[in-house]
Structure 1
């Protein structure tokens, strides 16, 4: 259960941060077919989205439906607001097929894992605030783009390690998702999906280098041993409330 909570929190954080690259629109943009077409063209220009003439009408209809979904949802009393990101002319099925289709058998993996506390533990849980925004404290790096690669597992893992390292050292260092994509391949499958728990174990055993040293390529590659020589962070222990580093960033 705790592993599922960690997955949910990390993935939710990644999705929420994604709105920073979003595109705003006004009520009058929805007034007519022409204004919606104008909105669609502005959106394509903003996100540099190229569509052929043959597919443009269909993409526009999908875009309209997504715009209305965003508009109608934002009129409700929800604790969040939706915006138009660069996927706004894709259907939910298309998005899930491209970005959420994992070849890793998650259910089989979780069934094989221990359901006790394992390496997780709680510390100092009395008197904690009901909520905290780690972005305001400086423990979250800027928005990253995974591109057309199913590497959300790597981004979720890295953002958690970046955050806990900042909390422990007061230094925010952007770490390498690409190292996980290329090198953590015993169970995880790069752009075809993976599990955070396995990625944490990889970092525990091997460390992780910086994004500058091993930049993201949004595709599967061969593990670059030279780039991995300068490992910046290594987890000595994994804790739900505390990740300690063998070597601080």
Structure 2
């Protein structure tokens, strides 16, 4: 009898401890990737680092490099934990970027040419075909409508602009033809001469390239290399996906962005250089960021959850980042440029029937 009471007491104590830990964090261990004790115990920190290395297939060239990465890992873990304790609407976690300093991360994964928005060149002047669109659905998710391909990974190449462009073209092609075809970012990197390959680019210039040529090859016919290659635009006897042009969404107008997004996926640019972006794991993002655009992504829907309105954004940092490769960014912020400048430089491809 005494043993049973003792076991029950121990069980209840474990439950209390679990509740205390959970109340201090916005999600459980499996989501965040760490526990509270990992920040206070050197041994647990090392064990966590080793576990993280194994999970993400990490290895280092020397013991010195491994120790340096452990220091970066610890600093990132402290930032993640501090951010999570602010009780915000989103949370951070240990992902594959946890051994990279923020400066390293920005240099490798952001790749939008920083130019003034008015310098964008529209293929159709000031035309915005959705200007009079009304009765928009309360929510839209092009993933559920079969117009979005799998989440891709740009790797250590500043080609986000190409992935943003391709996602929008894949979307309109499926909407018009009924066929969802994964298209080639590598062709844009190699052949879109107005852009700078792995050193950055702009989605409008990429749309212009596709519209002025015979189209874009499928990903399987022109696979991604994660580096700049030789243009092989004229591959014989291979099917191409075409667009007729592109149009720009009026700048700093969330209403216009939603009108476009209700009809098709849209290429957008954001400022993703905030440290929280590196470790975003879930929730509606409303963290600190400006509107100095440095990253191209694709808006693929919008909706609301628990009183918070958001835009669904497809990223190109692999499916282990964020919500399986996506981020929900807060809308209705009261700022014309939107969260992280998402309303500043949106555009979409057009395709004839």
> Residue 145 and residue 101 in structure 1: after superposition, are their counterparts in 2 closer, same or farther (change >3 A)?
closer
CA deviations 1:173-204 (Å, max 9, x no partner) are 1110000001112x201111111110011111
Q: Matches of residues 27-106 of structure 1 in structure 2 within 5 Å?
A: 27-51=36-60, 52-100=62-110, 104=113, 106=114
Give the distance between the partners of 2:133 and 2:205, measured in 1 at CA.
26
Give the distance between the partners of 2:218 and 2:236, measured in 1 at CA.
9
Name the counterpart of 1:5: none
Give the distance between the partners of 2:99 and 2:195, measured in 1 at CA.
30
Give the distance between the partners of 2:164 and 2:244, measured in 1 at CA.
19
Q: Matches of residues 96-175 of structure 1 in structure 2 within 5 Å?
A: 96-100=106-110, 104=113, 106-107=114-115, 110-113=117-120, 118-122=126-130, 125-175=133-183
Give the distance between the partners of 2:240 and 2:182, measured in 1 at CA.
10
CA deviations 1:28-75 (Å, max 9, x no partner) are 444522112111112122222222311222211211222232233234
Give the distance between the partners of 1:85 and 1:152, measured in 2 at CA.
19
Q: Tell me by how many angstroms 1:223 deviates.
A: 0.5
Name the counterpart of 1:202: 209
Q: How many equivalent pairs are there?
A: 222
Give the distance between the partners of 2:132 and 2:91, measured in 1 at CA.
33
Name the counterpart of 2:254: none
**Greater fraction strand:** 2
Dislocated runs of 4+, deviation >6 Å = none
Q: Which has the larger radius of gyration?
A: 2
Q: Which secondary structure does the structure 2 equivalent of 1:199 belong to?
A: helix
> Residue 172 and residue 25 in structure 1: after superposition, are their counterparts in 2 closer, same or farther (change >3 A)?
farther
Gaps of 5+ in 2: 1-30, 250-259, 265-348
Give the distance between the partners of 1:165 and 1:72, measured in 2 at CA.
43
Q: Conserved in 2, the CA contact under 8 Å of 1:188 and 1:198?
A: yes
Give the distance between the partners of 2:240 and 2:137, measured in 1 at CA.
31
Q: Conserved in 2, the CA contact under 8 Å of 1:234 and 1:246?
A: no
Measured on the aligned residues, the alpha-carbon RMSD in Å equals 2.8
**Greater fraction helix:** 1
